[in-house]
Amino acid sequence: MSLIVVGSMAFDAIETPFGKSDKIIGGAATYIAWSASNFVKPIYQISVVGGDFPTDELNALANRGVELEGVQIKKDEKSFFWSGKYHLDMNSRDTLDTQLNVLANFQPTVPPSYQQAEFLMLGNLVPAVQLQVIKQLEKRPRLIVMDTMNFWMETAMDDLAEVLKHVDVLMVNDSEARQLSAEYSLVKAARSIMKMGPKYLVIKKGEHGALLFHDDQVFFAPALPLEDVFDPTGAGDTFAGGFIGHIAKTKDISFENMKTAIIVGSAMASFCVEKFGTTRLQEISKADIDQRIREFVQLVNFDIELG
Ligand code: AMP
């Protein structure tokens, strides 16, 4: 059940209506690894950080079962930095700053020990780098899942279109799906995006849940109504980690199992938002996760009799 995770490892500075964080550890691949490692180990991580990235953070991931041979450390450079500010509803945000730093010239190398992996999670990252990883794999993984964001649609659309041709599942949020397809209706957007390459499309709608599209089928999973949402950063990546973690654990890539994976992803994301950064993800146990998945089942379980 081997899983390669690719994506940014970063410093983030976050502003929410509840407060401001200093520079904290973030990055798509960081959240994905914390989330997916609840389901599969090792996680074969591919990323790049600068000399400023804390060794303690790398050690914590290694102790968690994350293999770091594919994470380059550029001693004399700075890590990727992202800063964002959430609106009052916490469902939308503005990017205040994106400093690529080490990401600007990142040339990923897939270590020989990562070859033959069955599953590939391409977290948010430079599309050309995502493609380089796919091209370096000797055997095509059974399932390639990809996340991206508006930043890359605006700065690297040609490369992004090329990667899309190689992936099975794309995950984007609703505004990104609209931007990518130039369609307002999410049903039309899904149809148009599935012509670009991916056969499956997940559209994340923040506190309003997520949709899974495939051919003419559609499945919806709600988000758990939470009393406190402190920081939505990384929720999408944590969702992705739960989704691919469940698929890699069960080795089942059917649409039916993807529905379960969406619920697992939603459960994981619900933890992520409860505290700043990866704090909550580092605290939770299998019992916590199981309990939350039960709450999801309760949330949507009802009987109906049609007369
Ligand atoms: P999410 O909230 O799931 O969309 O992910 C937020 C994470 O994505 C943050 O921890 C950022 O460090 C990271 N991030 C933001 N912008 C980018 C980008 N352009 N490329 C890669 N990672 C990014």
What does the pLDDT look like over 277-299, one tens digit per residue?
Answer: 999 999 999 999 999 999 999 99
Atom of ligand 1 nearest to the CA of 12: 12
**Residue 103 placed within a domain:** yes
**Residue 36 placed within a domain:** yes
Task: From 32, 81, 82, give the residue whose CB has the most ligand 1 atoms within 8 Å, as the site to mutate.
Answer: 82
pLDDT reported for residue 229: 87
pLDDT reported for residue 278: 96
**Residue 307 placed within a domain:** no
pLDDT reported for residue 51: 98
pLDDT reported for residue 230: 85
Task: From 31, 124, 163, 176, give the residue whose CB has the most ligand 1 atoms within 8 Å, as the site to mutate.
Answer: 124
The pTM of this model reads: 0.96
Compute the distance between CA of residue 262 and CA of residue 246 in angstroms, rounded to an integer. Answer: 9
**Residue 18 placed within a domain:** yes
pLDDT reported for residue 164: 98
pLDDT reported for residue 227: 86
Lining ligand 1 with CB less than 6 A are 8, 10, 12, 26-28, 82, 98, 124-125, 149, 151, 233-237
Profile the chain (307 residues) by mean pLDDT over runs of 10 residues. Answer: 94 92 95 98 98 98 98 98 92 92 96 96 96 98 97 96 98 96 97 98 94 97 89 95 98 97 96 94 97 93 88
Identity of residue 7: G
Task: From 8, 30, 146, 276, give the residue whose CB has the most ligand 1 atoms within 8 Å, as the site to mutate.
Answer: 8
Compute the distance between CA of residue 256 and CA of residue 262 in angstroms, rounded to an integer. Answer: 10
Q: Decide: 70 and 108 in contact? Cβ < 8 Å.
A: yes
**Residue 156 placed within a domain:** yes
Tally of domains within the chain:
1
**Residue 9 placed within a domain:** yes
pLDDT reported for residue 168: 98
Compute the distance between CA of residue 116 and CA of residue 161 in angstroms, rounded to an integer. Answer: 25
pLDDT reported for residue 92: 86
pLDDT reported for residue 271: 96
pLDDT reported for residue 90: 84
The secondary structure of 44-111 as a DSSP string is: EEEEEEETTS-HHHHHHHHHTTEEEEEEEEETTSPPEEEEEEE-TTSS-EEEEEEE-GGGTT------
pLDDT reported for residue 307: 81
Query: 251 lies in which domain range?
Result: 3-300
In the reported structure, the alpha carbon of residue 26 is separated from the centroid of ligand 1 by a whole-number distance in angstroms of: 8
**Residue 305 placed within a domain:** no
CATH code, domain carrying 290: 3.40.1190.20
**Residue 306 placed within a domain:** no
For ligand 1, atom 1, the nearest C-alpha belongs to: 234
Match 């939470």 to its residue by tokens.
Answer: 226
In the reported structure, the alpha carbon of residue 302 is separated from the centroid of ligand 1 by a whole-number distance in angstroms of: 36
In the reported structure, the alpha carbon of residue 70 is separated from the centroid of ligand 1 by a whole-number distance in angstroms of: 19
